[in-house]
Every structure is written in C-alpha cells, then in structure tokens.
Structure 1
Amino acid sequence: MKKNGFTTTIVHADRRAHSEFGAVHAPLHPSSEYAFADSRDLTAVFQGRPGFTYARQGTPTTAALENKITQMEEGIGTVSFATGMAALTAIFFTLLKAGDHLISSHHIFGNTNSLLATLAGLGVEVSFVDATDVANVAAALRPETRMVFTESLANPGTQIADLKAIGDWCSEHGVAYVVDGTLTTPLLCRGKDVGASLIFNSLSKHIGGHGNALGGAVTDTGLYDWSKYPNIAEPYRKGKPASWGLTQIKKKGLRDMGGTLSSDAAHRIAVGAETLALRMERICANALGLAQYLAEHARVVKVHYPGLASHPQHERAAALFQQRYGGLMGIELAADVDVFEFLNRLQVLALATHLGDNRTLVLPVAHTIYYEMGPQRRAEMGISDNFLRVSIGIEDFEDLRADFEQALT
C-alpha cells in the first residue's frame, strides 16, 4: 500500500487501529482501573507485557493519542503527559542524576529555564550556550555530558538552533539529543530528520490547537542506542534497547511522578490533531503576511520572524521547515510607544499567555513570562521592555492587519 500523506494518516489512525464497532474516533475510556479474568494476565502486564492496569500509567485513550503522535513523528513510541512541562520534567528528572552535565540552548522558554534551574539545584550541572552554532555546543562538552537540549524554534526570540549539525555531533559523541519541537510541530520539522534522540511536543499548543486541553508528549525517534546510556536502571534493561529510554521515562514520569494525561484531555487533543496541517497552513500564511507588514511600520523597531530575509537563520529555516516558518513572532515596538496602551487598544488579538491556538494571542514578554529572570538575564537574551510575543491564529488576515494598524496609529 502506498504511504499516505500527513493528514490522511492522522485522520484515519483510530479506524486503522481497529477501534471498537468501527468508530472513526477511539472511544473515551474514563476508567481508573482495569480488571483481568486471569491473574496471570494481570501479573504479565505488571512485568512488562502491553496492557492496562491503573490509569496513572495510561489508558486506551491516551494510547490512541500516543499512536497518532508516533505516526506524526515517524518514531518508535510515545509517552503522553498531563502538560508539556510534566513531559519535560520527566525527561530531565528520569534520565539525569547528580553529577551529570546538560548542555542547553540559552534561547529557551522561560518556564523551561526555571525547570533547569531546579535541576541544577539537585546537582545536575547545566551549561547554557548559543545553540545557533554547533561549535558552541561542542566547546561545552565534558566527560560527564549526558544530554543536549534545544528548541527547534526558540520562544519568544525565534532563534533557530543548528539543529542538524547538533544532531550529527551528538551522534558522533554518543550524547542524547532532546529537541523541543512544539512550535514547528512534526508537520514542519520532524525530530528524526535532525538526528534527535527524543522529540518533545507540548500538545496544548498547535497539535491540540483549540485551547481546550493541556498535554505533553515525548517520542523516541529510534536513533539513539540506549544500551550505551549509563543512567538506565537495571529493571528497564530488558528487551530491545531501543525501548529502554522511553520505558524509564514512562515508569518514572507516570507511575512514580504521576504526571498523567487524562483520557478526556487525550480525546480532545486527538480530535484537534486531525486538522493540524490545515491550521498550520493558514497560521504560517497569516504570520508571514503580518511580519512583512510590521517590518515596514514606522512604529515597529524590529520583527523577529524566520520567514523574513532579515532573520539571522532565515536560510536555515527555509531548508529545515520546507518554506513554512511557523506562527510565532517577536515584535519590538518603538521606544515612544506605551506597550500597555498599545495592547489595550487591540480589538481582535487576545491578551493571553498561550501559543499555537486558533486565536492570535499577544503578551509583553519582559513583564510576564520573563519577569522572574530579572533585567540582566533579559538583557542577555535581547528582551526589551517593549518586546511582544505574538502567536498567530487562523483569523482572516485583513482583520489581523487592521487591528495592528489601528492600535499603532
């Protein structure tokens, strides 16, 4: 059978997995526990055979969503979590231990930065580097380096790491490579295409898309040899080594930490995922049009958007993301613009802290998500007091353009 395209695969994933009664959507399973007619079967599932025992470790509904994400990423398996931050926490806290060293891009989401600070407080050394050049990653290597982490498209500055070169370097040095692909999604850039060991997606964003459910996922691309990773616990060194990393993340992150995605949220996200490609096409088109318009506006100092030729990594973005540049942009307003007065004049854009929604969302970065970092760290990251993060939605383009125009006038 000819391989189907992205949307065809996702739309028919549940049906092809033989949902009950031929349902085109996998049914919702709210049960907390799962009973067995034979005690030997119950024991076998506890000892590693696929199956369900207690919903904290997953349900048939979360498994159906995980199957979709795995197909999107063309990976070998996925584990879902209650939120994106729960998924990131599971990666770092289950695969790293005191004395290990993590290399991270310094162009990362504020909450991720906070999480890494907590990790450092528990004895994991973290080096922040400019990951737009693989040489900076290579220069940070130590004997105890276990992992490299970066975002595919940085939030909110839109920097693009040297993704493929970092993947090649990690493969050469046997270092696990974790990529946060939330803002590009598997549609624009798959983790395995840049050599990622694990790809993380916040399902709350573009994949779910409708702002009605939280979730996160970790997908193993199958590219990393976990038999060479020193931190895999002995109980999980069973079966094929390709599954060891994800098994440890699932057991520790769900069973021990309890970061479980509910069946209700999983069902909402799974349905939302069916239209990902359609929504992203509209979002990317809207974003590019607005970036081009705002870049010429007298009251805008700079627009940070990979689709603009002025962006430092424009050519890299074009090559990696197939001429589509995502829905995130940073906008620096002129110094004489009162950022709060501007925001209060907007009529279409929503003042909200979220990304990847059907609606266009905006917020002042320095005063909100990067406030706790302090002025020095913000200055190092190029975040001025008039820096806005805008997540573009699927509205009619002319309505978005007109809203910016009237608010800036």
Structure 2
Amino acid sequence: MTDANKHGFTTTILHGDRQKPIEHGSLHKPIHTSVAFGYKDAHELAAVFQGRQPGYRYGRQGNPTVSALEDKITKMEQGVATVCFSTGMAAIGAVVQALLRKGDHVVSSSFLFGNTNSLWQTAGGLGIDVSFVDATDVCQVEAALTPSTRVVFVETIANPRTQVADLKRIGELCRDRGILYIVDNTMTSPYLFQPKKVGAGLVVNALTKSIGGHGNALGGALTDTGVFDWSGFPNIFDNYKRYPSAQWGMAQLRAKALRDFGGTLAPEAAHHIAVGAETMALRIERECQNAMALATMLSQDPRVAAVHYPGLPSHPQHGIASELFASYGGLFSFELKDGIDCFDYLNRLKIAIPASNLGDTRTLVIPVAHTIFYEMGAQRRASMGIAESLIRVSVGIEDTADLVEDFRQALDVA
C-alpha cells in the first residue's frame, strides 16, 4: 500500500509524525497530558469552539498525541479522517450512540465477536431493530434490508470461526441502496486489507490488537473512507450540517461519542499504540507465517476434528480471502476430536498462553465456548458454529519451529 506521497506502508507510519511540525525535533509525537488548552486571544478560543479555526477545546474531544495517531490510522486505511476511542468496543458503540436512532434498522453479520453481538442486543432494547444474517452470502444481506435500514455491519474475518464475509458484493449492494457500510477490519488490519476498496464508508479497528500489537494499551478507531455520501444520511443533526457534507459523519461522531458520551482515548495509550504500529507490518508477516504453519500441521493430525483458517484451501471462503487480502491473518481456531479434553490440551502447552487478547506478540489461546462466548448460551453458540471443544489461537511472533512443536507435543500426550 502507498499513500499520496507514494511511500510504502511502514515508511508512511514511521515518518508520519514528522509530516507536521513536531515539538523540539522529537521523532515521536510527545505525550500531551493536559486536558485543557489555552489561547492568548479569547476570540481564538471561540473560533475553535465554533469550528471556524482548527485547535483543541478540551481533552475529551481531542488531544495532539491522539490526533497524531488518528493521522496514522487515516493513512493506513487510505481514508479522509479518523476518530479514536478508548477501546474498540467504544468505537463500535459510537455508531449506536451517534448515528442511529429509535426505529432504525441494522443488518449485521451473525458471525461476530461476542461483545459486538452483545452490543447489538443492547441496541435492540433501545428500539433499534437488528437482523443477524449469514454475511458470507450477499443474498441473505439483501433479503434482510428494509426501508429503514441505515447500516450494514460486517467483520472481515469473523472471530473465532474465521468466516469471511462476501465483502465486495455487500459493498456493491450498499452503494446501490445508499446504505452506510461499516466493516470491522480488526482481524485483517490495514496492512492486509483496506475496506475502502470494497466500498466501506466507515472502518472499525480495535487498536488494541494488531495495530498496537504489544498488549499494553487499549484503543479503537473509526475511519471515514470518503466513500459514503453523508448528505443522504437522515440522522445528521442540523448543527453539524454547517460543515461540508463530507465532514458530517466525523463531526457528529466526535461530538456525540466523545464530547457527550466520553469514550476518549488517553494520550498515554495513544502513544503506546502509535509506537507499536511502527512494527505492524513486520509483526503481521511473521504472525501470518506462523499461523499458516500451525493450521497446516493441525489440519493433518487425526486427533484434530477441524481447523478454521482462511489460508487453508479447505476453508469455505478461501477464494474470497485470497482475492481480497494480502495474507490470511494471525488468527485461527480448531476443534479436537471427541475424547480429548480442550482444557487438558491447553494446560499441556508450554509456549502458548491461555489469555483473551488478540494480535499480541505472544501466542494466546482460549477455550471459546467456556469463556468469551459462554454468556450467549449453547443454542446461540451452535447457530454460530462454535463447538464446545473450539480453541481460538491468536498467533504471535515466536520462532515457527518452536510453536509447531509446542502444539504438536500437546497432542502427542493426548
């Protein structure tokens, strides 16, 4: 990927801060901890609040350190603007808080991160109708649309069963119908895929995961790709229409989700994420290599019932993943044969760590049905294809041979 200056992905991230004036020649944007910003002339303060002049009002709505990270994310996604949030879930919640109203309808993939599924259930209780469909089939998305559909929401690769949405055709459908298409890019990351290419108007990234990459900071982001025509979106408040229509969505998100709701990313976390992002391409290439090696080994072992990884030719959406993504990501899941206890297996691993994060430098494993998807119940899990023995693996950057041996020796004991 290249930006407007024709630099590569990593070069753009590494030198992005220096494209604007930076304090004392620092190579990183410094951490600005102040929550208030003073002006010598009170007229300037008023102009900033009224949107007539760029500047910072209050730390809840923006901060120089966070702004520098937002610029990086915007460049990664080839977008026009980004708003950062305290977590990835806060970013998705901002869609509900700032852009949807009672009586609106959302079409969502049924193959979702458990917390996102829970959020849509909460939205239903607020009078927002949500239809869950198999997003690997664009026909099911189309059949669910109604005159009040405002948003279609999908993930690139579903967590944990790795179903791949029919991203391109859903994008074409949303464009033809004038519907806001939101794609959660967390499982692929901007390095492997830019949802703008399939018509996404907003892109979600959980910055905690592959972009930050070191398990030391929470964060999330919404990026406006510039594809969606906000002038046709019915839920924009009149006071944000004083801006050009291309800015309406971001202006309302920043005001309603940051100013009013307070899902603000702290500057210290923004700094950790920005520094972590510098090595994202290097980390993800290693993670993809390791994931392919592990998934291939497990798929050939008779003690493993199934392996779910888009990089395997046996995966139902392997063709779509090969067409759209630069590689297949660092997440996969697998099921053990009957008679092999998943907890016993996990406890025999010596390198992989039982933990719930994704996109870390370390390989993390978790028994899905008993933890992150436990709350939704057995019936809902079954409808999502989540077996009781399903183990999710977030592959790290360890030496490939060490990981393969670790997962193999745990099977040998079984």
Category of TM-score, reference length = shorter chain: over 0.9
- Which residue, out of 31, 44, 48, partners 1:45? 48
**Which one-letter code corresponds to 1:374 in the other structure?**
G
- Tell me whether 1:129 sits opposite 2:133 in the alignment: yes
**Which one-letter code corresponds to 1:343 in the other structure?**
L
Aligned partners of 1:16, 1:241: CA distance in 2, in Å? 27
- Which residue, out of 104, 107, 111, partners 1:107? 111
SS in 2 for 1:301: strand
TM-superposed CA distance for 1:160, in Å, is 0.4
Q: How does 1:355-366 map to 2 (within 5 A)?
A: 355-366=358-369
Q: Say whether the 8 Å CA contact 1:207–1:269 is kept in structure 2.
A: yes
Aligned partners of 1:119, 1:96: CA distance in 2, in Å? 9
SS in 2 for 1:326: coil
Match of 1:138 in 2: 142
Q: Summarize deviations over 1:296-350 as a string: whole Å, max 9, x none.
A: 012110100000000000011011002x100010111111101111111111001
Q: Say whether the 8 Å CA contact 1:361–1:393 is kept in structure 2.
A: yes
Aligned partners of 1:331, 1:50: CA distance in 2, in Å? 50
Q: Summarize deviations over 1:120-154 as a string: whole Å, max 9, x none.
A: 00000000000001111100110101110000110
Match of 1:386 in 2: 389
Aligned partners of 1:141, 1:84: CA distance in 2, in Å? 26
TM-superposed CA distance for 1:18, in Å, is 2.2
Match of 1:328 in 2: 331
Q: How does 1:195-234 map to 2 (within 5 A)?
A: 195-234=199-238
SS in 2 for 1:57: coil
Name the count of aligned residue pairs: 408
Match of 2:347 in 1: 344
TM-score, normalisation: structure 1: 0.99
Aligned partners of 1:199, 1:34: CA distance in 2, in Å? 30
Match of 2:247 in 1: 243
- Which residue, out of 191, 197, 207, partners 2:195? 191
**Which one-letter code corresponds to 1:315 in the other structure?**
G
Aligned partners of 2:390, 2:17: CA distance in 1, in Å? 42
Q: Say whether the 8 Å CA contact 1:93–1:119 is kept in structure 2.
A: no
- Which residue, out of 287, 290, 296, partners 2:291? 287
- Tell me whether 1:373 sits opposite 2:376 in the alignment: yes
Q: Say whether the 8 Å CA contact 1:149–1:178 is kept in structure 2.
A: yes
Aligned partners of 1:171, 1:238: CA distance in 2, in Å? 25
Q: Summarize deviations over 1:341-390 as a string: whole Å, max 9, x none.
A: 11111110010001000000000000001101111101111111100110
- Which residue, out of 82, 87, 94, partners 2:98? 94
- Tell me whether 1:31 sits opposite 2:45 in the alignment: no
- Of residues 80-89 and 45-54 in structure 1, the stretch that sits farther from structure 2 once superposed is 45-54
Aligned partners of 2:372, 2:5: CA distance in 1, in Å? 45
Match of 1:180 in 2: 184
TM-superposed CA distance for 1:22, in Å, is 2.2
Q: Which runs of 5+ in 2 are unaligned?
A: none
Aligned partners of 1:117, 1:328: CA distance in 2, in Å? 25
* Root-mean-square deviation (Å): 0.9
Aligned partners of 1:259, 1:50: CA distance in 2, in Å? 21
| Structure 1: 4+ residue segments shifted above 6 A | none
- Tell me whether 1:56 sits opposite 2:60 in the alignment: yes
**Which one-letter code corresponds to 1:118 in the other structure?**
T
Q: Which runs of 5+ in 1 are unaligned?
A: none
TM-superposed CA distance for 1:45, in Å, is 0.9
- Tell me whether 1:260 sits opposite 2:279 in the alignment: no
Q: Summarize deviations over 1:275-297 as a string: whole Å, max 9, x none.
A: 11010110000001111110001
Match of 1:404 in 2: 407
Q: Say whether the 8 Å CA contact 1:286–1:392 is kept in structure 2.
A: yes
Aligned partners of 2:49, 2:385: CA distance in 1, in Å? 50
Aligned partners of 1:338, 1:223: CA distance in 2, in Å? 48
- Tell me whether 1:6 sits opposite 2:18 in the alignment: no
SS in 2 for 1:55: coil
SS in 1 for 2:369: coil
- Tell me whether 1:16 sits opposite 2:19 in the alignment: yes
TM-score, normalisation: structure 2: 0.97
**Which one-letter code corresponds to 2:241 in the other structure?**
R
**Which one-letter code corresponds to 1:112 in the other structure?**
T
Match of 2:154 in 1: 150
SS in 1 for 2:365: strand
Identity of aligned residues (%): 58
TM-superposed CA distance for 1:163, in Å, is 0.4
TM-superposed CA distance for 1:195, in Å, is 0.5
Aligned partners of 1:142, 1:315: CA distance in 2, in Å? 30
Aligned partners of 1:406, 1:160: CA distance in 2, in Å? 31
**Which one-letter code corresponds to 2:313 in the other structure?**
A
Aligned partners of 1:268, 1:18: CA distance in 2, in Å? 20
Q: Say whether the 8 Å CA contact 1:236–1:244 is kept in structure 2.
A: yes
TM-superposed CA distance for 1:2, in Å, is 5.4
Q: Say whether the 8 Å CA contact 1:90–1:253 is kept in structure 2.
A: yes
Q: Say whether the 8 Å CA contact 1:104–1:129 is kept in structure 2.
A: yes
Aligned partners of 1:245, 1:262: CA distance in 2, in Å? 22
Q: Summarize deviations over 1:172-226 as a string: whole Å, max 9, x none.
A: 0000000000010111110211100000000000000000000000000000110
Aligned partners of 1:44, 1:75: CA distance in 2, in Å? 26
